[in-house]
Structure 1
Amino acid sequence: MFVRLSSVRRYSLVCVVIGGIVAYTLTRWSFAEKPMVHIGEGLTANSSQFTLDGKPFRVLGGSVHYFRVPRAHWEDRLVKMKACGLNTLTTYVPWNLHEPERGRFDFQDHLDLEGYLSLAARLGLRVILRPGPYICAEWDLGGLPSWLLRDHNMKLRTTYPGFTKAVDSYLDQLLKRVVSHQHSKGGPIIAVQVENEYGSYAKDAEYMSFIKEALLSRGITELLLTSDNLDGLKLGGVHGALETINFQKLSPGGKNYLEEIQPQKPKMVMEYWTGWFDLWGGLHHLFPAEDMVAVVTEILKQGMSINLYMFHGGTNFGFLNGASAVGLAAPKAMVTSYGRVGEITI
């Protein structure tokens, strides 16, 4: 009972704070469903503030992963996101589910990404797509399919030919389903992320350029982003993509570094963590609601865009939960429920 009350309180406080600030921005959307309306260019980062359709725009986002939520509940989760005053949905794309066996692709039923994007558009939500190919997300092998490891020489997340060939085949199938849902085509996608937190790995200086070109050559025309924690920012960027930051506690170092490497560009927290993931046998992590509200309020006061990671976590079905080995004698599995950040309970 104590945990549930705490979660409800957290949800209420965040909704009040974000909802109140949204009311004073030009990015507010009516709660009523309405189709996407485009009157100009897509999301741009040519000044200290984003613009969309030629008007100032602040990303007020929340992450809900379609593959962690039964399809029957997609609309319920996204309607509640919008009721909290958010205007943008962010989601990863799990390669290992969409290509469970080499050459066999699945985009049906609960993996119907196009259906998910269309639903977001109908509800008036913009979308930032995070297709990986590596997504982390406390997901089995970070979303990379296990069959890659049959190549005993495999070098994941590099320009090793065995890896790039598999990535190219996957992106051929994925992006042909995505390009028509971009803002330029009348769809909800306003930005696409290049890989994920590569600065924390950074084994191949050519890799990020390869992924960026793989997206562009297959028809991606919207704003490109990267996403890293403060340490990873120094290694994870790629020319032509706006760098964004991930953190839980606001520190001057992150914003100052973004300003240094990207002067007069919009500042965005791609992943604002409101807690941490749980491991089987470990403690349940909770981030006090008051602390979370204080950080979110300061982020917004500083004019930064934000994405709540997660807005709703959902479930790691089957054995798809990831594991952590950082600081441990042996890897420990994540819990089945995706409590990555003590997500807002709805």
Structure 2
Amino acid sequence: MGLILALLGLFNCPLLWVFYNFSVVIEKFLTTRSFSIDTKNGTFLKDDAPFRYVSGSLHYFRIPQIYWMDRLIKAKAAGLNAIQIYIPWNFHEPFPGKYVFYGNHDVVKFISMAHDVGLLVLVRAGPYICAEWDFVSCFFSLCKEQASANKFLGPVIRWFQQLFPRLHPYLYENGGPIIMIQLENEYGSYVTCDQDYLSTLYEFARYQLGPNVILYTTDGPSMNDLKCGSSDRRLFTTIDFNVSEASLPFSVFKLLCRRAPVTSFLNSLAFLDDSMLLNRTASARRFTSLVFLLPFSYMFHGGSNFGFWSGGPSASNAAITTSYDYDAPISEAGDITTKYIMLRDLIFKVILTDRLSVPSTLFLPLNMPDKWLKGLSSEHLVSIFLKPFDSVSLLITANYQSGR
């Protein structure tokens, strides 16, 4: 191909141009991209070769757009080859029929950036996402409706009509990074158990996205959760669990008589307590010893809840804090942590061979005016930001809402 381009530069020959364009078309036709599941051998196949993704979650809606590339590069440098993202419905449709896909809402740009960095993407499209998000991504008036009722399902379909066409060009088979798309989230944890609802979501997603992309569900590690959450067997079933439940997934899949691909994933060993304040529950060393027990990832970088988007448990008046740090390997401020370094070394030792250099912060924040720090000594700053970390709990408990 390079020789052809050189000849084109030396000779202004129309035949060479025709030959070059034809060869480009043929090359594109012969180069097929695919991501699928080999159920016989229990593995993912990327371009027909066995593949394991190493993933962690980043919420673009909790990260200012100017820092997106910084966080993505740091995730890649840690050894991740994939990220997971939620897409909060009400973040993109704040008012019925009014859709926002620009600025910090530009999810397509975030996916494109991940692709540029060399990261695959798993999209958790909802419509329900949890994620400690305001009204769990739904509209308050709609959340009270039955799932299959037109009052709820109609707006969901209209939302997906806006979302899925934007995702379609970025599917892996189309040259993009999206390898899997999740529908709903832990649906089996709720009493609705509406199989028609899940089937409708599946049918519409297939219609919009085509026959090849993996559509999946995520539920808790119990047969009761899976009975409702994965009632449509056309959806690939995945489960999430805490460290204390590490043996459950294998028992569940044994009961289901299914061979499922094993993934490597990163999860913050932290939880949100009853007051919804972040608690650290594992040291970096304990984290690295347990990380490969976790079947599905959560926060690799948590970020912040801006505006009024932070949610809260329905059973109390407590609210999620502005911080969504989640004790993740990349801190809320974007700094790499001890946990990050140990995790990176572990990933490269166990799975990967090529080590990337960890980048310094790519985007520096604006200088903080001196008057903002007036009256604060270095001791005050240490007390404010470091003291909570001195009393780290020794509990080996995974995050309060693992995988959500």
- Same-fold call, TM cutoff 0.5: yes
Pick one of 255, 258, 261 that aligns with 1:266. Answer: 261
1:65-84 deviations in whole A, cap 9, x for unaligned? 11110000000001000111
Amino acid corresponding to residue 132 of structure 1 in structure 2: G
- Specify the alignment match of 2:203 in structure 1: 213
- Matched-pair contact (CA < 8 Å) for 1:258–1:267: no
- Matched-pair contact (CA < 8 Å) for 2:56–2:265: no
- Specify the alignment match of 2:171 in structure 1: 182
Give the direction of change, closer, same or farther, for the CA distance of 1:97–1:165 in structure 2 (3 Å limit). Answer: same
- Matched-pair contact (CA < 8 Å) for 1:88–1:126: yes
- Specify the alignment match of 1:25 in structure 2: none
Which 10-residue stretch deviates more, 89-98 or 239-248?
239-248
- Specify the alignment match of 1:92 in structure 2: 86
Amino acid corresponding to residue 224 of structure 1 in structure 2: L
- Specify the alignment match of 1:44 in structure 2: 37
Residue 184 of structure 2 corresponds to residue 191 of structure 1 = no
Give the direction of change, closer, same or farther, for the CA distance of 1:202–1:211 in structure 2 (3 Å limit). Answer: farther
Give 1:291 shift.
2.9
In structure 1, distance between residues paired with 2:265 and 2:97: 32
In structure 1, distance between residues paired with 2:203 and 2:286: 40
- Specify the alignment match of 2:318 in structure 1: 332
Amino acid corresponding to residue 111 of structure 1 in structure 2: H
Amino acid corresponding to residue 36 of structure 2 in structure 1: L
- Specify the alignment match of 1:54 in structure 2: 48
In structure 2, distance between residues paired with 1:282 and 1:311: 18
- Matched-pair contact (CA < 8 Å) for 2:52–2:263: no
- Specify the alignment match of 1:242 in structure 2: 236
Give the direction of change, closer, same or farther, for the CA distance of 1:324–1:266 in structure 2 (3 Å limit). Answer: same
In structure 2, distance between residues paired with 1:281 and 1:167: 29
- Specify the alignment match of 1:80 in structure 2: 74
- Specify the alignment match of 1:223 in structure 2: 214
Pick one of 313, 317, 320 that aligns with 2:309. Answer: 320
Specify every segment of 5 or more residues in structure 1 that has no aligned partner in the other structure, as ranges. Answer: 1-37, 300-305
In structure 2, distance between residues paired with 1:216 and 1:262: 26
In structure 1, distance between residues paired with 2:270 and 2:301: 13
Amino acid corresponding to residue 43 of structure 2 in structure 1: Q
In structure 2, distance between residues paired with 1:125 and 1:325: 35
1:36-82 deviations in whole A, cap 9, x for unaligned? xx654223243311111111111200100111100000000010001
Pick one of 269, 292, 296 that aligns with 2:291. Answer: 296
- Specify the alignment match of 1:118 in structure 2: 112
Partner SS for 2:109: helix
Specify every segment of 5 or more residues in structure 2 that has no aligned partner in the other structure, as ranges. Answer: 1-30, 337-404
Partner SS for 2:298: strand
In structure 1, distance between residues paired with 2:266 and 2:93: 26
Residue 327 of structure 2 corresponds to residue 342 of structure 1 = yes
In structure 2, distance between residues paired with 1:236 and 1:197: 6
In structure 2, distance between residues paired with 1:60 and 1:70: 24
Give 1:270 shift.
7.4
Aligned counterparts, 1:23-42, within 5 A: 39-42=32-35
- Matched-pair contact (CA < 8 Å) for 2:239–2:296: no
Identity of aligned residues (%): 34
- Matched-pair contact (CA < 8 Å) for 1:132–1:193: yes
- Specify the alignment match of 1:201 in structure 2: 190
Partner SS for 2:205: helix
In structure 1, distance between residues paired with 2:191 and 2:262: 23
1:131-171 deviations in whole A, cap 9, x for unaligned? 1000000001111123536xxxx415x10110010001100
- Matched-pair contact (CA < 8 Å) for 1:180–1:187: yes
1:105-138 deviations in whole A, cap 9, x for unaligned? 0001111111111111111100000010000000
Give the structure with the larger helix fraction: 2
Pick one of 125, 129, 142 that aligns with 1:131. Answer: 125
In structure 2, distance between residues paired with 1:57 and 1:130: 20
